[in-house]
Structure 1
């Protein structure tokens, strides 16, 4: 069920890779950020949102990977925003995202995947400050709600996922370091961090997440063996080796 983590900010976690759907209250109603994952999750999230008794006025997608492109008709036919880069990639890769969703989870409304609109200059009712960067995915964005002390980070700063470099995209180490610098600056105004996957961090744990991701990226750049405790999960061995190969290629 939805758990309130700050004033007007709720989180619901899926069992699938500890994915977090975020619900934020704005001036005109609720904004749903990265809802997921399977059909049952989406339906239960819709139940939770209905119990809040506040209308949904928009959606927001932090980046164009299939598990962040989902929606349910019960959330309403409202604008679903993203950065311009994210919206473009989502449109171009929509069929692939639908296929990946169908292969991975059950009951997802495939016809609603990836229907995004670039966020307008006036913010489209999405509260907070948008922090766009190019680490992990094109047009990736975090949202800083400084008035509530909350940083919604997308697929960054997770306690269960290592940094995942964007596949086949040059300059990802530089992009990741630049993104961490942006998030570090934003974190000065936050004491609650909501990652796309994993547990919500509070207080000093936020700085610890930043330090862990920096240490992992530093090890990649130096060609050193990483001692990151997140690598204890066997299923991350493949993504880690992909990161190592990309860093090695960049250094050669």
Structure 2
């Protein structure tokens, strides 16, 4: 956030109530959101609702869709088919899933040859990579040393690979290397994942080590990662393991 309240909203919520609550919290604080950043284009990172509707949508880059309408339909289908979301809504029937933003996020504004966000807020560096999704883009708030990393470096989820990639494990390793490089370059002290809990620098380093160890074990056809205790994560791991064995 800038000194004048200029704010960038990152990956806002999952349910309609969460997105609206975030919008209300931003308004209460007098912040002025100028855009929404999507760390990648999976359905739960491109949502819309009260407080963020109508704002520009920015992304790191990656493959372009044929048309905005087709993009929105495909993301809505992903949302409606999501088993984890269905379980959340079954447990909380008063909730409803947030709407998918109707237009595809555009590449972020920046000066040619730089990785800095061109906006009125504080200095923000973009770390683009293809781990988890082909268009993944983490953010580093340079002044405060905060890394907003989307679906990476989670204390709850093992690395979830992009099953459409030619080399999903290699892409994920490269993504971890890109994040680790940014951590050193900007002296990052706080990590904020899209799924899981924030952590300090020691925790960030531990998660980098844990994710690399998981990839090593996955390639060997095994894993004793404690995050697999969650049934949903264990199921995702089994799918990844089966895919690599094919």
Aligned mates of 2:50, 2:64 — CA distance in 1: 19
2:39 to 39, 56, 62: 62
1:242 to 225, 233, 239: 239
Contact 1:136 1:164 (8 Å CA) reproduced: yes
Matched, 1:230 2:214: no
| 2:213 paired residue number | 215
Distance change >3 Å, CA 202–CA 98, structure 1 → 2: same
Distance change >3 Å, CA 174–CA 140, structure 1 → 2: same
1:80-128 residue CA offsets vs partner (Å, 9 max, x unmatched): 1012216648945321221343464544453635531111224342741
**Larger deviation, residues 112-121 vs 160-169:** 112-121
Distance change >3 Å, CA 248–CA 109, structure 1 → 2: closer
Q: In the comparison of the two structures, how many residue pairs are matched?
A: 225
| 2:25 paired residue number | 48
Contact 2:10 2:36 (8 Å CA) reproduced: yes
Gaps of 5+ in 2: 90-94, 112-116
RMSD: 2.3
1:161 to 157, 164, 173: 157
Distance change >3 Å, CA 190–CA 96, structure 1 → 2: same
TM (norm. structure 2) is 0.83
Aligned mates of 1:158, 1:114 — CA distance in 2: 28
Contact 2:58 2:106 (8 Å CA) reproduced: yes
Aligned mates of 2:179, 2:218 — CA distance in 1: 20
Contact 1:97 1:113 (8 Å CA) reproduced: no
Gaps of 5+ in 1: 1-23
1:116 to 91, 105, 128: 105
